[in-house]
Structure 1
């Protein structure tokens, strides 16, 4: 063999040896990383104390960890990239060893029963993009060093038991598009540092105990679509530049202590606005006429503020599903206050229309019968509306709640009311209705609460009312009703809250069937011309104080406050300040009329 050929062979051998060494080093490194991931997963499993679906039963030595349920590995390195154990009813603590899954990009642990705290070690996951821990029972504070996971685009920690302040350090996560920290027990301020989140689109911080004002720094985020901070204790005003963000889709600051006015150009500067809620605050001024230009608006909630003046035309809001404007000072008491209702006939998907407890005057326009056939609630109580109720109101066949109480309505109750066969709660009390109770009332088989008290109704109580088998509350007191009490009324075994027929001109005997109403808490037949032993029974006099007619006059607004306070969603409930204010107003009105 020549010297040259030997040298070439030697070089080739060296190359092969070096390649083998490198391959061995890389294989060893990969093996070491794989073992790290495996041990991290097993450490996580060791912290799980409940696994009712046996989701982690495959997590054992007989199966490669990349094939374990909920584990996804990258093809090249066989390292864990996704851990998805959502909605498995797992309980236990989240192991800090998850911080060793250095290739992890997505962590889904939501909708379980994890307790303990969020491990600060998660801040070591440089590749982590999505962190979903919502709907657990995790406590402690939000780790400041989550800021180390610089590639995070989504953080969802909502519906837990987190406490403490929102870390300023989160402001360095410039790739973050969505942060959900709502429905916890967080305190302190909304940090101005959040204004550095230049990619942020969604900020959900509602349902906490945050104080201070909405930082103007948030207005620097040009990509912001949703700001939802309702049900906190925020004060001050909405930063004016926020109303110039053409990208804004949702503003929800309800149930805080925020004040100020709605800008006159609101509808022009927020053309993409779909959801606006300022309810349960201290806003003053008028509803801007420009709101009609926000043509995508489907929820407009301004209830329980101090807004005044006329409601502008809303004819362009064709997508509107909720217009909640109760408990303000809207209207002037004038004849044209309710003209705007005609413009709402364009909102063909309108479901909730609450205008009660304002200063609306005039008559209820015929156009009310042309409102959306999807309407579920129409509330006009506690205003100054007079005249007759248009028969067309009975075209709203999906109505479940109809409140007309405490106004100056006159004339007959529309005989077509029986068409409203989905009606469940209705109050007509405190008006000047005359005529007879419509026979068609018996068609309302879903009706559970009905009050016609404090009117001028005459005629007899229709026996067909006995077909309203869902009734738990029936008040026909303080009218001019005559005749006997139909036995069918006492067959209403559903009656449990109230049966008040007092202060009428009813005659005859109290039938023994009154004893069938075993679950009834309040029965009042006083102030009639009834005879029989039943009249003096204990059942009849359970609540003597309710016989006062002036107290009954206040029932409608108090009843509506009670309903509002018992809403399932916290966002739909009034705050304490507004409840106290409204109850004081009702009390003052009662004292004035009683003096």
Structure 2
């Protein structure tokens, strides 16, 4: 439990982080004595009871994170005293009652997360009149009712609005067209009715909409084509489904459960739309044929011939696209993984779980790895879209091979999305590095070369260039022949396209992420080089960047730098290879060459992990130097 004596700490204490421990019991009222606090992070513990009203004494607070606990009761009105508050996260608790009107007094608030609680009542209009709300307002998964107040249109700076899985009703207000910065609108799982307001067409920043599981009707507006993700499933829309933009890729939109729709992408298998202008079109054709001269007729014939040829080519191209990836259903994946059983679970990531399974392909049973997206996690939808976009166009010996994707509905009516890859029997590089190193120096160098080759392809040969964004041992898979394959493009950035990461997105994994990302800088190929350098040093030293010894400014980069005494590798680092018999035999005859190889590899890692991006070695130079090391090792 958090002791009452916490309140005896200095009133000059600036930040208190107790995030992600196993603390339980009540949050002591004495915490209100820490009047100097700017940041309070108690998230991901097991706190119960009420939020103490004494929190209202902490008038200097800018960030409060109490999410993912078991707090109950009402949100205290005193939160309105926190006039300097920038970020408030009370999500994933058991809070009840109404959203306090006093929150409207927090006029500096940038982001507010209240999702996954038991809050009830209507959305307060005062909450929607906070001009500073510019990042996220998330009230999803509560018991809110009533309509969306028209004041929502005043949130001109808001980027993301989540109101899903409540009991909200009425029409979608046309005033939402005033939210000119809105990029994500999520209102699924409510009781909304009426049409999609045309005013939403003015939201040029909008890239993602989820309006599924409502009672919306009318025709699907054509302006939705420009989105990157759209879910309109389980409503009552009618008429023709557009075929351009987002509607041209079955993995980026869904219109399931709308029985009155027609046309659209062939993969939807919807009925054809009735031709209402057939007779009028024929009449006009007769008139045109009657008045056109022979030369014009000849031109038309030529154009028709060219059009027919282009159409045939397009159909051939479409057939190629459709057959390149195997089609699998939710039912096939469910059966192939034995109901996504724990026995078949082979890994977990930030946005999904990976299962081993078996499917039929060309009459043969194929072992696969199925990554099932956790769509309840923020960013999972975008991660799925980004992976589909990446795998659609990239092919390389050192990239994981994707078999197909599946975008469907499970047996409970929930959205289901999964990616199906070839199964890698030797697991991930992490498995071979920890807890005990099971690779020899030549194997490690070959694997590092494979990863560098994949990054060189992504950075320099893909159009557009791709930044992987999450290079780490867990994302390096090993085939039967120990050839490395880079996987997981859920955080990838496509340079110069609409798939670039926003400033609020997750960027990599702690310990492997380039330091400039922490300052809000754009993701770049130089960031991938930094992550690769950390991976390299981890493979050579056997130490993870998050090991306990790395604190208070001491890092894996500094550890490796210190090992390079006068450009000769410290002998202590060689302990990682003492159990490798082939290394021991070679060491006796070629000790100096092997130590030089190790020193060269460590130098590469140190250069790649410089804090200043321009000082880092580029990936092509990395490959050249690794090849020199490989040539030496193979000749020993």
Q: Larger Cα Rg: Structure 1 or Structure 2?
A: 1
Indicate the structure with greater helix content: 2
